[in-house]
Every structure is written in structure tokens, then in C-alpha cells.
Amino acid sequence: MLIVYYSVSNGNTKRIAEQLQKAFGADIAQIETIKPYSGSYNEIVDQGKREVDQGYRPAIKSLSVNPAEYGVVAIGTSTWWYTMAPAVLSFLESCDWKGKTVIPFQTHGGWPGHVIKDIKAVCKGADFSHEMAVQFDSTGGAEQVTPDKEIETWIKQMKGEN
Ligand SMILES: Cc1cc2nc3c(=O)[nH]c(=O)nc-3n(C[C@H](O)[C@H](O)[C@H](O)COP(=O)(O)O)c2cc1C
């Protein structure tokens, strides 16, 4: 199993991805844009809105691993304006998902939107299982709202079936 995640604000998504990584001893890789986002949180929120509205796909660095070599790929994104972060869209469109099992997960601040549905629409030909949304606080901060227990249950269910 490979875990691929994108995390820019507080490392919220990174935290969840690392929990999975520890539980499964899986490989892990981070999606990064070539041009880093800069400015205040609110500036990034505004830039993100423009990018999502325009369907922008930022250029991303090549991953440290080759997703083609894995049968199961967990994909984690923070929520950007009710959908996945643009960098995740760039990544998903760069891979062939046929025959793979994708585990989509998101972090959000209370407005999860249609992230999981959008990931499913882009990963053509994949099977999906164990989708998960983890809520953090509504101000874009690092305080986890979803209880740890729910995350543990999610991991246990994955272990039961994989
Ligand atoms: C550009 C941008 C847009 C966001 N849009 C949403 C949103 O639509 N719904 C929501 O619940 N949270 C939204 N957030 C909050 C983040 O999804 C949330 O804080 C997430 O956990 C951040 O993850 P990270 O620390 O891994 O980047 C947005 C944050 C940013 C930077």
C-alpha cells in the first residue's frame, strides 16, 4: 500500500497520513507544488478559491515513489473550497488508476463538500474503499474535531479487509 497526501496549512492531512503509515508500515509520499503557496492563511484561501473556480492544475514535483507499482493507494487531501486541493487534481490526472484500489480521505474544517465524489470521478477505472473525512476546527487550525476513536476504527476496518 502507498499513501499519497497533500497538506499545506497545518499539516492536518499529513498527521492523518502518518497515522495510516504507522498502522500499515506502508510507503508514503507527499504531493508538492513546484511553486510553493506563500502569504497569510487568508491569502492562500483566496488564491485557492480562484484556482478551484478556474479548474487550475498547478505543476507538481515528481513523487518520491512510483504509484504504478502499488495495488492499493490511499489518497489524502485537505478540502479546498469543497473539493480536493488543486495539486491533488494535478497528481490524480497524471496517473493510470485502472485496476487499483483507492482509499480516499480528506481533512476539512466543517464543510467537507464533494471531495470524495470528485476524487472518485478523476480516478477512472479504480475501485474505492474505506473513504474517510476527518474534521479539524472551523478556523483552519490544527485542532482535531473528529475523535481519535473514529480514526482508530477506520484503520481497524481497513486492516480487517486488506
Ligand atoms: C484554500 C483553502 C480552502 C479551504 N476550503 C475549505 C472548505 O471548503 N471546507 C472546509 O471545511 N475547510 C476548508 N479549508 C480548511 C482546510 O480544509 C482544513 O483546515 C484542512 O484540515 C487543512 O489541512 P492541511 O493542514 O493538511 O493543509 C480550506 C483551507 C484552505 C487553505
Mean pLDDT, range 41-65, rounded to an integer:
96
Quote the pTM value: 0.97
CA neighbor of 5 nearest in space, from 153, 107, 99:
107
Residues whose beta carbon lies within 6 Å of some atom of ligand 1: 7-14, 44-45, 48, 78-82, 107-113, 136, 140
Pocket-testing residue among 28, 80, 116, 117, ligand 1, by greatest number of atoms within 8 A of Cβ:
80
Residues 93-146 pLDDT 10s? 999 999 999 999 999 999 999 999 999 999 999 999 999 999 999 999 999 999
Closest atom of ligand 1 to 45 CA is: 1
Pocket-testing residue among 37, 79, 81, 143, ligand 1, by greatest number of atoms within 8 A of Cβ:
79
